[in-house]
Amino acid sequence: MTGPSRAQIEDVFRREYGRAVAVLIRRLGDIDLAEEAVQDAFTEAVRRWPVTGPPPSPAGWIITTARNRAIDHLRREATREDRHAQAALLRAPAEPAEEGPVRDDRLRLIFTCCHPALSTAARVALTLRLLGGLTTAEIARAFLVPEPTMAQRLVRAKNKIRDAGIPYRIPTEAELPDRLRAVLAVVYLVFTEGHTAGSGERLIREDLCAEAVRLGRLLAELMPDEPEVLGLLALMLLVESRRAARVTPGGALVLLPDQDRGLWDRELIAEGQAIVRRCLRRGRPGPYQVQAAINAVHGDAPAASATDWRQILDLYDLLLELAPGPVVALNRAVAVAEVEGPGAALALVDGLDLDGYHLFHAVRADLLRRLGRAPEAVRAYDAALALAGNATERDFLRRMRATTVAP
């Protein structure tokens, strides 16, 4: 029998990385050692599984192998005095589960890493690395910063945890609200990386989308009275409802106005819209709730031409008040183009400082194309192509560039 391919083993890696690292960090109290041990386990899987076939429980095999690699590392590095104590700790049976409000290993990892001693950006970046196994380059793209800057941020966050002696434990119920903002940011960024992968050949990473939605549902069970928790869950469900229509059978990107709405998942839309209505009744709007409401309006339209862009623009006005920033302003400009025309939108876009963001140039290119300014549009498409990391997005931009010609 032929064993799994490297690609299949990499799929296991993506699914199980966060859980394995969470278990090892809890046991070792050392981020770097946990990550190294899990990476070693997957290297061993790539070597052995094609020959022996996958084990009955790939996740259990990965955790056990990583634990054994950590033991080997401690034996090599520890002094004689503490070597046996450390090895005995690792070989001991698993301790009883800690009591506390957070029971899921991966959700607990997010809460424990989102410690107030770290900056919000550092909390989010570190947990993205540990939870989803995202590369430094992928996280840097999510934050719109250079890769070396993000690498330094991750190192500083790990050092801070080590030097400050921040414990790896379940936060108490009273501590959960203070960490919630960063936790929601982590879950949302995991989802957005799954929705549009920052690199690779495929547009969508279904594993990350599914994991983010799973975590969102757990958060909603854990904190049902937090409107932004519900807003984030609704947002993810409504965006996820369109996944089947976002690419053609051949894998080409399809923009929202051109999607076959018959492929949209109406059950997810109904669930997301019901949650949005619950949020509206509470009267405590937040950024995730408003974004969910925007996507609920899209879900209401039976055809692209029936979209209530005026309502969407009003919601973006509110979002810009709640969460001001250039990316929100860019998305708002897309709505302005539908309500007031591409010229008004371009004037807004040209005032934004987003030169390192590929979607900024893609939006500019589309607006310039619609205004008949083909040479400028081509240059904007070139700028977007130079920054886009995903092959599906690059293919789409090339097609659009090719059809943008001067009269």
Asked whether residue 47 is domain-assigned, the answer is yes
Asked whether residue 381 is domain-assigned, the answer is no
Domain encompassing residue 41: 6-91
Q: For residue 158, what are the contacts with CB-CB under 8 A and spacing of at least 6?
A: 31, 32, 126
Asked whether residue 369 is domain-assigned, the answer is no
Q: Are 203 and 197 in contact (CB under 8 A)?
A: yes
Asked whether residue 311 is domain-assigned, the answer is no
Give me the amino acid identity at 344: A
Q: Are 1 and 50 in contact (CB under 8 A)?
A: no
* C-alpha dist (Å) from residue 139 to 97, 107, 136, 174, 259: 31, 19, 5, 30, 29
| C-alpha–C-alpha distance, residues 187 and 114, integer Å | 12
CA dihedral 247, 252, 256, 260 (to 10 degrees): -50
Which two three-digit tokens encode residue 27? 């046991």
DSSP string for 306-364: G--HHHHHHHHHHHHHHS--HHHHHHHHHHHHHHH-HHHHHHHHTT---TT-HHHHHHH
Asked whether residue 252 is domain-assigned, the answer is no
Asked whether residue 34 is domain-assigned, the answer is yes
Q: Provide the domain count of the chain.
A: 1
Helix, strand, coil shares of the chain, percent, nearest 5, are 75, 0, 25
Asked whether residue 112 is domain-assigned, the answer is no
Asked whether residue 46 is domain-assigned, the answer is yes
User: What letter does residue 250 receive in the DSSP assignment?
Assistant: T
pLDDT tens series, the chain, 407 aa: 467 788 788 878 877 888 888 888 877 778 888 888 988 998 899 898 988 888 888 888 988 999 888 888 887 776 555 555 455 444 444 443 444 555 677 777 777 778 888 887 788 788 778 876 777 888 887 787 888 999 988 888 888 887 877 766 667 778 778 888 888 988 998 899 889 887 778 888 888 899 899 989 989 988 898 999 999 999 999 999 999 999 999 999 999 999 999 999 999 999 999 999 999 999 899 999 999 999 999 999 999 999 999 999 999 999 999 999 999 999 999 999 999 999 999 999 999 999 999 999 999 999 999 999 999 999 999 999 999 989 999 999 999 999 997 54
